[in-house]
Structure 1
């Protein structure tokens, strides 16, 4: 999980390294998706202040689903466990945002 705003800097260079390594991640920001640069709009966002259910949902998605893509990148071939037959392979994913 990367906080977008780091004082006078942004975490985009770290995000770029994670993209290159196909490492799943998400952004945390108080500005929501509209606070992201256009190239990072497909990355999952956890809005501040954090709440337990959305945090659980996004972290589960990050470790069970395909990696995010940047605008212009090719989609990775890794299927998402929260769609299709992922649950039938012994993996589960709870998509409900609230308990």
Structure 2
């Protein structure tokens, strides 16, 4: 076989073989959820990142990096926002009562 007679990848494949649902049933290497529980933290920004991780369950491994980078970016923004949040003004210490017995 020379360069002019190379086969084109995917040529001759049937439509059914290209369907993701069929691939998941017949291909044990198809993406499948890991079943890792994601417990809400109560912080909206962090919880949104945890939910975004669920998107990786339905992608092949080479698609995970995009999801992980997106979640990492979101968590960094959340932490930065916490650092930049205004701090409450300090509360003055109570002044002890003055004793007039002298």
TM-score range, shorter chain: under 0.3
Q: As a proportion of its length, which structure holds more strand?
A: 1
Normalised by the length of structure 2, the TM-score is 0.25
**Structure with more contact order per residue of length (Cα contacts < 8 Å, sep ≥ 6):** 1
Normalised by the length of structure 1, the TM-score is 0.25
Q: As a proportion of its length, which structure holds more helix?
A: 2
